Structures are given as C-alpha cells and as structure tokens.
Chain A
Amino acid sequence: MQVKEYKPLIVAFCCNWCSYAGADLAGNNRLNYPADVKIIRVPCSCRVNPMFVLRAFQRGADGVILCGCHPGDCHYTSGNYYTRRRMALLFSMLDYLGIERERTRVEWVSAAEGAKFAATMNDFAEKVAALGENKRLEDLRCKK
C-alpha cells in the first residue's frame, strides 16, 4: 500500500465583511493557495469561540487561522478588538501548554486584500505543513 502524502488540514474562520470578501477577491484574481485551506464564514471574527478552535484541533485540523477586518475597520465597529484580546490570550495559553505556536494565527485581511489573503494562506499552510501532523491537540477517536 502506498503511503498517503501528508497534507495539512487548515480551518480558516473568515468574517463575512472583510476577509471572506478578501478570499473571494483572491478567487476572482485566480490567486492560488493550497486546497488544504477550508474556509468557514462567520459574521464577524468575534463570533469565533475558542471552543471552535479547540474543536477543529480535536477533529484533526493541523492549523487554525482567524481572519477579520483590520482593527478599526470592523463592520460592527469593535468586534475584532475583542477577537484580538481573546485570541492573543488563547494562543498564548496554547503555547504555554506546549502546542506549537505556528498552528494558530490571526490575520487582518480586508475585502480589497485578495493578494494578502492568498499570500497569508500560502505562508500559513507552509508553516503548518513543516510542523507535520497535529499530535499534541488531537483526539484519536476523531482520526480517520
């Protein structure tokens, strides 16, 4: 049997107003990024509960990235400021527990930044791929 090539699994939470539109723009401009990145649309990055991030890791994600409007540009005025605090603390905690810090990221991508979206995903996917499979925060029962 042939060994399956390792492909990282990346969950990207994108806010509807900026980053999801930025991802669409990346598509419009045919900017490539790995198919390992799967986007989940949320109204605002502040909708992302830390539990969703942990859930993704539990179910086998190798990296989780949150994308939202640039600070100051939130469609809901302040949502991404809360995201910034929550994720800064969560990621710091995961790092404290010894989870590789490259597996988590927050990036601000505007609706006009299709190129930044693609570049961010390429970079993130590359870093996560270099780490290999997520072993430290996985739930074996959820493995294929």
Chain B
Amino acid sequence: MQKITRDVLVEKAVSLLENGSVSCVLGWKKGEFDYDITPAVFESKEELVSDFIFDDFCGANFSKYLVQKTRKVEGKILVFLKPCDTYSFNQLLTEHRFDREKVYAVGIPCEGMVDIGKIKAITGDGISSIVCGDTIKVNTIYDESFDINAKDVLLERCINCKSKKHVAYDELIGEEGEVIESNRFDEVARLEAMTPDERFAFWQNELSKCIRCNACRDVCPACTCEKCVFNNPKSGVENKAPANEFEEKMFHIIRAFHVAGRCTDCGECSRVCPQNIPLHLLNRKFIKDIDSFYGEYQAGAEVGSRAPLVNYTTEDIEPCDVFERGND
C-alpha cells in the first residue's frame, strides 16, 4: 500500500551514512514475524541492506528514541518520520528534549498503517507469512491463504488520520501533504452523549482489561520523563501492577493528564496496547476539550508554541461550566 519503497529509503540512508552526514539510522527492522516490525538502530550499509523494512506495519514513531539516542551518539542521527511522527518530533523540540542539531530528519509519505489485530480477526491465529500491498496476502500454518484489502484493516489512527503534512524535516521524500479534516472526535462525542452510568460501565469494562504492561507509557512520545511518577516511590502514585479498579483508572487518568496539551494524538498508545484498550479516547477527550474551551490547538504543529496547560486567558471557561459545553 505504501507509495514509497523500502529500497528508496535504504538508498537514502546508505548514502547519508557513507558520506558521513549521519552516524546511525533509526529505522524499522523485521521482527520474529512479518507483522511485528521493531524499531532499530542501523550503523552500517550491510545492516540496512539486509534488515531495513518499510511496509504497512511500520507504525512505530521514532521521535521518542531521539531523546536518549542523541545523548549517546556522536554525530547526527538519521530518522525517518511519517507525517504524524513529525508532530511528536516538534513537541519534543518544544520541550527541549533533544538537540535538533544532532538529528537529520527525512520526512516520508505514509498511506496509513494496518492493524494486525484486524487482520487476525479475519485470518485467525497462526499467520505464517504476510505480503504487504494494496491487497495484503496472508498465509497461515493451516495452509489457508487470505487476500485482504489493506484499506479495510487500517489502524484506527490511520482511518482518522489528522494530517499528511510533515511539520518538520530536513529533507522530504515524496510530496508535501495537507492537514486533513478527520472525524477523530466522533467516538469521544458518542461517549459524551451517553449517561454517566453508561460511560462508567464503558470505561470500567475497558480499563479493567489493563494488565499494566506499561506499553502505552513506554511508547508514548510525550512520556519521556527522566523519572516517571509511576516509578517514583515518593510520588504517591507509584505502582507496578493495578491492585484494583481504582488503580487501573488512576494510572490512565494521570497518564492522560500528564500528556494533556502535549499529546499530539499520534495514536501509538492504542496501537501497542496488547489488550486493545482504546486509550486514544482518553487523550482525544482532552484534545477535544482543549479545542472547544481554549481554541484549537495541535501539539507539535509549531516548535515553541505554548501548551494550553501552561497558558491561560483571563476569560477562560469556569470548571463548573465545562459540563454544559462538553455535552453540546
């Protein structure tokens, strides 16, 4: 489905590596299965040629890796950024989380990534091989084969893609896209329209699936704290596993609040959640509220913009009035 091939990216990476512009490359590497692509650091042409992947499973957003990587690597790091990744990239720059000078960012177009969960729902377990394309060809160990239309199994975040525009890059491969009017808040609005009891039941059901694997936090490009409050015994909220319903909620409320105004809605949290909890619906609630209370704000659209929670106007909405507005 992707318009750009892996070879173009490998060629770009090899040339930048070989002419010394960059000292390593952040890219996607094949994992155990065709669909579990993992982020990797490539340091040589050989590694790139043999292991570099770019296909419909390359959802991983590398922005976050720059925080630690730029501190450790001498020279520049080449990073490939899809449009949605560039927002996280900018947001991290706004928060001074890495040195822009140490990064060479190549913007690459994205046609949307696919959701392995949706594929497995069709094929069942036991996938032995997947070949990406507009039609995804899946074979299973049970000698079954499936042809799946890639558009039918897109990740939620790609169905509701908010932007094909790269807001940051040193070099762009392909054409500049546009910000898209998406329907990403529809699901939030649907929940808002429910009764409190229904909402409670919905979230109780969803959040009780949480196994506290921390994948959402670990993948989140807004969660780059030197020490996470959930690992800090003095924070009062430290816990490693949710002992009960309260802690399931506590973790997710605090996490959502911590990234409120800074979350770019990259959707990584939902993508990596092994329990398929729609975590993006928490973050999007904050984004929707921020947009409607304080004016539209897209985190990461510009470097240096003042996040809504470290800003105010004297005419802001009162907390007692938010419910009337929220239920419009």
Contacts and interface: CB of A to CB of B under 8 A. Distances in A.
Contact of B323 (A58, A81, A87, A95): A95
B322 A88 contact: yes
Contacts of A89: 257, 260, 286, 289-290, 293, 309, 322
A54 interface: yes
Residue in A93, A101, A106 with the greatest tally of chain B CB atoms within 10 Å: A93
A51 B250 CA distance: 9
A93 B285 contact: yes
**Number of chain A interface residues as a range:** 35 or more
A32 B175 CA distance: 69
Interface in B290-318: 290, 293-294, 308-314, 316-318
Contacts of A91: 319, 322
A137 B249 contact: yes
B202 A92 contact: no
Given A93-B286, A95-B196, A136-B200, A84 B246 contact: no
- Pick from A87, A106, A139 the residue with the most CB of B within 10 Å: A139
Interface string A76-109: 0010011011111111111111111100111000
B244 A96 contact: no
A72 interface: yes
Interface in A15-45: none
Residue of A81, A85, A100 ringed by the most chain B CB atoms within 10 A: A85
Given A86-B309, A96-B285, 6 more contacts: A81-B316, A84-B319, A89-B257, A92-B326, A95-B322, A96-B188
10 contacts: A50-B253, A50-B254, A51-B237, A81-B316, A84-B316, A85-B308, A88-B316, A89-B293, A106-B319, A137-B246
